[in-house]
């Protein structure tokens, strides 16, 4: 973008005056921020319109990434970086007496996601635009994103997230592009000519209104679209206006029941599954998205039988899996295609990513509820299921087990993963190990039936946000050493290895880390009143709280360290600060007890003068994208300690690696690939392997009591949980105890404890050799380029979507 500082200044003042009738001296900080937002949007809009035009006129194949979640975080900095005007803008504002960082802090953090899955979708959006790929997002404009977390007396308290309270400047409401969505009622089939046509009676019609967010690519004029749908009532609806006149209360009731659909993001929570409103949300955005895609496609004049040559639709986890039936519905009922042809097109258009093997996260819907809410869609699902079961029984004659495993409808439930697999030409896992487990275990029967559909796409993260934006000093170091080619081609970061013996570079790397650690220390002091030292090792575990992620193992290690220091106060360790950041799903009581335990340990350890500051524990409240950007660059140790086989990939592991942290890892998810990339000397690995874990699950052989009884350290820890050591009642941690003992320690916390403690001792040794440590850190950074989501997205584009870059010319 060609623009001068003077121009920005002029444009900005104009914007401020035209929007708020204020000058710099009168305007409040939020007005200043909003004016800047509007100005940047102005800069983006031209390219946006041009991009849409170019994609349409070029008749290029386009991808639509359907995702329930887009955890996009703040966007201002991303826009400025990607437009290449961040420094210019910062200088222009400074000359007007305005601090850009202060304005940037005003932006709400759009938390429209739970964790890894939603953040991955956001990183993908950034990469798709930066690679000039014609690819867009489709999701829901939740009025309330993931809850905000407060810690009160050590307990998690949830607060409503109200991110739309102040204007979300980036979005553009397209009221005239609304789409009607049908729910409920009765549907029967009527013969029209020689075709069956559905007739809908008494269904509830809901209006989906799109809000578009521009996605600006880095150093490209392409601006893609993230389309988020909002459920609104159509005030021009005649039925409604009669309601408005006649029965105000019924009108209000109706209004709330409509708006409810896009009110709030469900917090990832097994107890929340099976909720009707969630299914409504899923169909709502999927139907709106697919209807729009087909309508737009038809305007090109190409026959509908060519759809898959122009459109790829991606199903991000099972949440949008109803897309299979919705696309079939449109092709059959609206376009009048025969079943076989409609099916062929559907399968060629759709692709599905699996993000978890955790059974409780695999979506199923009670078939009666499903049929009542989506009667026509249910008919289609039944027919897909009938035909599929027939195919299976032909192929594996008499093998009822196979049908039972693979059928979509089973035991009164509709299994969405099965629907997605059967209706997609591509099925991928999100890391090598995860995909192997899918192929050979979880989805073995499907793999046997459709081996050509299965492939791996290891996750990635956008290096623009997680390196250039989050760690500008480190990005500068890279530019000063290896030039700036890596910015466009992140694999080039590897060139940093040429500096592995360069003392000056290592020293500068150390200083950058130290500076970030000092900033975090200042933040922790201000936010929580806890004094921590940037000279201590920063050992960080930030991610959703879940038993399989084993925050419990981490805190047990800390308790053990504390106990050892109490027994032997002169024990020589490198001072360490342990950070946790984690939200627990509101009804996940075990997870909430673990948060309480972490906070209890923190209180004890931080306030014990005998410990003399050797260890500190900090619970970072309300962990989200913005906080991640602050703390990840300060990490020395990245805790990636899930029970092997359970974490599909992880992406926090990649963010830490790219910022020079050393991974404390089980061989799980993408840790396996990090290990391969950096070599065993530059990572600390411990614990059971996934083979061992799965073997125990399959054949037994592990006895948690035995392990416990043979380890006095564990006995002391468990007794402290029970005996009021933390000044809380004896049953405060009962769910933790039950989870360990009643499930035979299902996540192998006891089993991996010893190995984890030893691995932590190794960290201590390694850190004492400062030069060695810096070399490890450098090696991690240098090898992190493969985890840029640009690489991941290139593979999706080539191997799944079959789309090509379509660069808008300057």
Listed ranges 219-227, 265-273, 481-489, 557-565: which one lies at the site for ligand 26V (CB under 6 A): 265-273
Nearer Cβ to ligand 26V (565/693)? 693
Kind of pairing between the strands at 223-232 and 204-216: antiparallel
Residue 268 engages ligand 26V in binding (rule: CB under 6 A): yes
Q: How far is Cα 64 from Cα 494, in angstroms, rounded to an integer?
A: 32
- Report how far residue 31's alpha carbon sits from residue 15's, in angstroms, rounded to the nearest whole number: 10
Distances (CA, A) of 596 to 156, 582, 592, 640, 746: 8, 12, 6, 21, 21
Query: How many residues belong to the chain?
Result: 810
Of the pair 22, 799, the CB lying nearest ligand 26V is at 799
Tokens at 458, concatenated: 């290891």
Q: Does 70 bind ligand 26V (CB under 6 A)?
A: no
Q: Name which position in 82, 114, 346, 666 contacts ligand 26V (CB under 6 A).
A: 114
CA 295 → CA 287, 289, 301, 302, 371, distances in Å?
Answer: 12, 10, 11, 12, 26
139 is an interface residue for ligand 26V by CB under 6 A: no
Shortest Å, Cβ 291 to ligand 26V: 24
**Angle (deg, nearest 10), helices 749-768 and 712-722:** 110
Q: Which is nearer to ligand 26V, 132 or 671 (CB)?
A: 671
Per CB under 6 A, contacts with ligand 26V among 411-440 are: 430
Of 120 and 438, CB closest to ligand 26V: 120
Q: Which stretch binds ligand 26V (CB under 6 A): 298-306, 445-453, 648-656, 713-721?
A: 648-656
Catalytic residues: 355, 543-544, 549, 651, 655
Distances (CA, A) of 452 to 14, 233, 387, 439, 800: 58, 45, 20, 11, 12
Within 10 angstroms of residue 389's Cβ, the number of other Cβ atoms is: 18
In the complex, what is the shortest distance from the CB of residue 656 to ligand 26V, in angstroms, rounded to a whole number? 13
- Within positions 652 to 691, which residues make up the interface with ligand 26V, using CB under 6 A? 669
Q: In the complex, what is the shortest distance from the CB of residue 545 to ligand 26V, in angstroms, rounded to a whole number? A: 12
The single residue among 648, 654, 665, 749 that binds ligand 26V, judged by CB under 6 A, is: 648
CB 586 within 8 A of CB 269: yes
Nearer to ligand 26V, 36 or 361 (CB): 361
User: Which span sits near ligand 26V by CB under 6 A: 263-271, 285-293, 609-617, 699-707?
Assistant: 263-271
Residues in CB range of 373: below 8 A, 6 or more apart: 183, 184, 276, 279, 280, 283
Nearer of residues 106 and 585 to ligand 26V, judged by Cβ: 585
Given the complex with ligand 26V, which of 62 and 651 has the nearer CB atom? 651
HSE of 471 in the Cβ direction (CA atoms, 13 Å)?
31
> Which residues, 6+ apart, have CB-to-CB distance to 370 below 8 Å?
279, 377, 378, 381, 414
Residue 116 touching ligand 26V (CB under 6 A): yes
- Residue list 275-294, contact with ligand 26V (CB under 6 A): none
* Residue 142 exposure: Cα atoms within 13 Å on the Cβ side: 27
- Considering only 120, 140, 506, 552, the residue that binds ligand 26V (CB under 6 A) is 120
CB of 265 to ligand 26V, least distance (A): 8
Which one among 273, 393, 455, 744 touches ligand 26V, defined by CB under 6 A?
A: 273
Spatial distance between the Cα atoms of 7 and 91, rounded to a whole number of angstroms: 12
Measured from the CB atom, the residue of 269 and 519 that comes closer to ligand 26V is 269
477 contacts 508 by C-beta, under 8 angstroms: yes
211-230 binders of ligand 26V (CB under 6 A): none
| Least distance (Å) between residue 117 CB and ligand 26V | 3
Give the C-alpha separation, 133 to 60, whole Å: 10
| CB closer to ligand 26V out of 161 and 212 | 161
Which residue's Cβ has the minimum distance to ligand 26V? Answer: 116
| CA proximity to 446, closest of 471, 476, 425 | 425
Q: Which of 662, 667, 666 is nearest to 641 (CA)?
A: 666
β-bridge partners, 110: 73
Number of residues binding to ligand 26V, judged by CB under 6 A: 22
Region near ligand 26V per CB under 6 A, out of 109-117, 379-387, 484-492, 792-800: 109-117
Q: 665 - beta bridge partners?
A: 640, 685
Identify the residue among 32, 355, 508, 655 touching ligand 26V (CB under 6 A): 355
Q: Which residue's CB is nearer to ligand 26V, number 214 or number 669?
A: 669
Residues 21-50 that bind ligand 26V (CB under 6 A): none
- Among 234, 259, 272, 341, indicate the residue that binds ligand 26V (CB under 6 A): 272
Q: Residue 641 interacts with ligand 26V (CB under 6 A)?
A: no
Give yes or no for residue 269 binding ligand 26V (CB under 6 A). Answer: yes
Which residues are bridge partners to 413 per DSSP? 366, 410
- Mark residue 728 as left, alpha or beta (left: phi above 0; alpha: psi -120 to 50; beta: remaining): beta
In angstroms, give the least distance from the CB of 648 to ligand 26V. 4
The residues, any chain, with a CB within 8 Å of residue 138's CB and separated by 6 or more, are 64, 65, 66, 67, 226, 227, 229, 285, 289
Q: From the CA atom positions of the chain, what is the Rg in Å?
A: 27
- To ligand 26V, the closest distance from the beta carbon of 408 in angstroms equals 18
Residue 649 binds to ligand 26V (criterion: CB under 6 A): yes
Q: Least separation, in Å, of the C-beta of 586 and ligand 26V?
A: 11
Which residue, among 227, 136, 794, 345, has the nearest Cα to 804 in the 3D structure? 794
Determine, following the binding rule CB under 6 A, whether residue 123 of this chain makes contact with ligand 26V.
Answer: no
Which 360-399 positions form the footprint of ligand 26V (CB under 6 A)? 361
Which residue, 211 or 266, is less far from ligand 26V as judged by CB? 266
Residues of this chain, 458-487, that bind ligand 26V according to CB under 6 A: 459
Cβ 20 vs Cβ 31: under 8 Å: yes
Q: List the interface residues with ligand 26V, window 742-801 (CB under 6 A).
A: none
Residues 171-200 that bind ligand 26V (CB under 6 A): none
Q: Which stretch, 211-219, 354-362, 682-690, 768-776, contacts ligand 26V (CB under 6 A)?
A: 354-362
Give Cβ neighbours of residue 598 (< 8 Å, ≥ 6 apart): 551, 555, 580, 617, 619
Collapsing DSSP states into helix, strand and coil, what is residue 208? Answer: strand
Q: Which of 467, 745, 412, 448 is nearest to 632 (CA)?
A: 467
The residues in 584-603 that bind ligand 26V, with binding defined as CB under 6 A, are none
Question: Which of residues 361 and 565 has its CB atom nearest to ligand 26V in the complex?
Answer: 361
Contact residues for 41 (Cβ-Cβ < 8 A; gap 6+):
169, 170, 214
Q: What is the DSSP string of 87-151?
A: HHHHHHHHHTT--HHHHHTTS--EEESSSHHHHHHHHHHHHHHHTT--EEEEEE--SB-SPEEEE
What minimum distance in Å lies between the beta carbon of 701 and ligand 26V? 27
Is 266 near ligand 26V (CB under 6 A)? yes
- 465 closest CA partner among 218, 807, 653: 218
**Calpha distance 554→546 (Å, rounded):** 13
580: contact with ligand 26V by CB under 6 A? no
- Answer for which of 115, 139, 581, 785 binds ligand 26V (CB under 6 A) is 115
**By CB under 6 A, is residue 117 in contact with ligand 26V?**
yes
The residues that touch ligand 26V, with contacts defined as CB under 6 A, are 114-117, 120, 266, 268-269, 272-273, 317, 355-356, 361, 430, 459, 647-651, 669
């Amino acid at each position: 973008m060609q623009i001068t500082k003077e121009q920005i200044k002029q444009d900005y003042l104009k914007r401020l005056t035209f929007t708020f009738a204020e000058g710099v001296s009168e305007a409040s900080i939020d007005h200043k921020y909003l004016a800047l937002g509007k100005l940047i949007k102005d800069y983006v809009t031209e390219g946006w319109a041009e991009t849409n035009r170019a994609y349409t006129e070029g008749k290029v194949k386009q991808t639509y990434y359907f995702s329930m979640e887009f955890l996009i975080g703040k966007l201002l900095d991303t826009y400025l970086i990607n437009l290449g005007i961040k420094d210019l803008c910062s200088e222009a504002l400074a000359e007007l007496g305005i601090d850009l960082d202060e304005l940037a802090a005003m932006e709400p953090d759009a938390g429209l996601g739970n964790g890894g899955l939603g953040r991955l979708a956001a990183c993908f959006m950034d990469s798709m635009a930066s690679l000039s790929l014609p690819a867009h997002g489709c999701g829901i404009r939740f009025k309330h994103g993931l809850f905000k977390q407060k810690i009160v007396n050590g307990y998690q308290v949830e607060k409503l997230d109200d991110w739309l309270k102040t204007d979300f400047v980036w979005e553009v409401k397209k009221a005239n592009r609304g789409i009607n969505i049908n729910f409920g009622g009765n549907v029967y089939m009527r013969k029209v000519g020689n075709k069956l046509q559905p007739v809908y009676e008494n269904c509830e019609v809901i209006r989906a209104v799109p809000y578009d967010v521009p996605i600006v690519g880095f150093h490209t004029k392409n601006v893609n679209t993230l389309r988020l749908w909002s459920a609104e009532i159509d005030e021009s609806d005649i039925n409604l206006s009669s309601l408005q006149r006649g029965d105000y209360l019924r009108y209000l009731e109706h209004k709330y029941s409509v708006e409810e659909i896009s009110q709030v993001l469900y917090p990832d929570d097994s107890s929340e599954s099976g909720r009707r409103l969630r299914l409504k949300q899923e169909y709502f955005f999927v139907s709106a998205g697919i209807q729009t895609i087909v309508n737009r496609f038809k305007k090109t004049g190409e026959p509908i039988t060519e759809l898959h040559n122009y459109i790829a639709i991606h199903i991000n986890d099972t949440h949008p899996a109803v897309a299979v039936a919705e696309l079939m519905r449109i092709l059959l009922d609206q376009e009048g295609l025969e079943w076989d042809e409609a099916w062929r097109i559907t399968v060629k258009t759709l692709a599905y990513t699996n993000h978890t093997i955790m059974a409780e996260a695999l979506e199923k819907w009670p078939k009666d509820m499903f049929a009542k809410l989506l009667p026509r869609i249910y008919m289609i699902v039944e027919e897909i299921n009938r035909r599929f079961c027939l195919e299976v029984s032909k192929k594996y004659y008499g093998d009822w087990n196979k049908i039972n495993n693979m059928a979509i409808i089973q035991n009164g439930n509709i299994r969405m993963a099965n629907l997605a697999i059967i209706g997609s030409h591509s099925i991928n896992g999100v890391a090598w190990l995860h995909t192997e487990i899918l192929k050979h275990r979880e989805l073995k029967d499907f793999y046997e039936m459709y081996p050509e559909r299965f492939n791996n796409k290891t996750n990635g993260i956008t290096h623009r946000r997680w390196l250039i934006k989050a760690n500008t000093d480190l990005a500068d170091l890279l530019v000063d050493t290896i030039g700036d080619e890596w910015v466009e081609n992140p694999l080039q970061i590897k060139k940093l290895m040429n500096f592995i013996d360069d003392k000056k570079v290592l020293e500068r790397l150390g200083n950058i880390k130290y500076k970030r650690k000092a900033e975090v220390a200042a933040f922790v002091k201000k936010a929580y009143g806890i004094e921590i030292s940037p000279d201590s090792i920063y050992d960080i575990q930030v991610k959703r709280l879940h038993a399989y992620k084993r925050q419990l193992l981490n805190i047990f290690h800390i308790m053990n360290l504390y106990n050892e220091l109490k027994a032997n106060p002169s024990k020589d360790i490198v001072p360490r600060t342990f950070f946790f950041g984690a939200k627990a799903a509101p009804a996940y009581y075990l997870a909430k007890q673990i948060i309480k335990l972490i906070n209890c340990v923190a209180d004890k350890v931080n306030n014990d003068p005998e410990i003399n500051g050797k260890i500190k524990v900090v619970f970072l409240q309300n962990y989200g994208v913005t906080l991640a950007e602050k703390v990840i660059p300060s990490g020395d140790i990245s805790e990636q300690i899930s029970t092997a086989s359970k974490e599909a990939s992880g992406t926090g592991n990649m963010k830490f690696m790219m910022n020079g942290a050393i991974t404390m890892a089980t061989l799980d998810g993408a840790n396996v690939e990090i290990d391969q990339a950096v070599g065993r000397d530059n990572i600390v690995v411990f614990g059971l392997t996934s083979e061992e874990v799965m073997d125990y699950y399959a054949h037994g052989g592990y006895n948690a009591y035995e392990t416990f009884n043979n380890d006095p350290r564990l006995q002391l820890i468990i007794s402290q949980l029970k005996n009021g050591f933390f000044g809380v009642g004896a049953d405060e941690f009962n769910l933790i105890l039950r989870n360990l003992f009643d499930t035979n320690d299902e996540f192998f916390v006891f089993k991996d404890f010893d190995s984890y403690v030893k691995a932590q001792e190794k960290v201590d040794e390694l850190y004492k050799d400062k030069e060695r440590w810096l070399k490890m850190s450098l090696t991690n950074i240098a090898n992190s380029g493969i985890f840029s989501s640009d690489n991941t997205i290139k593979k999706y584009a080539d191997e799944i979507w079959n789309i090509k870059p379509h660069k808008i010319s300057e």
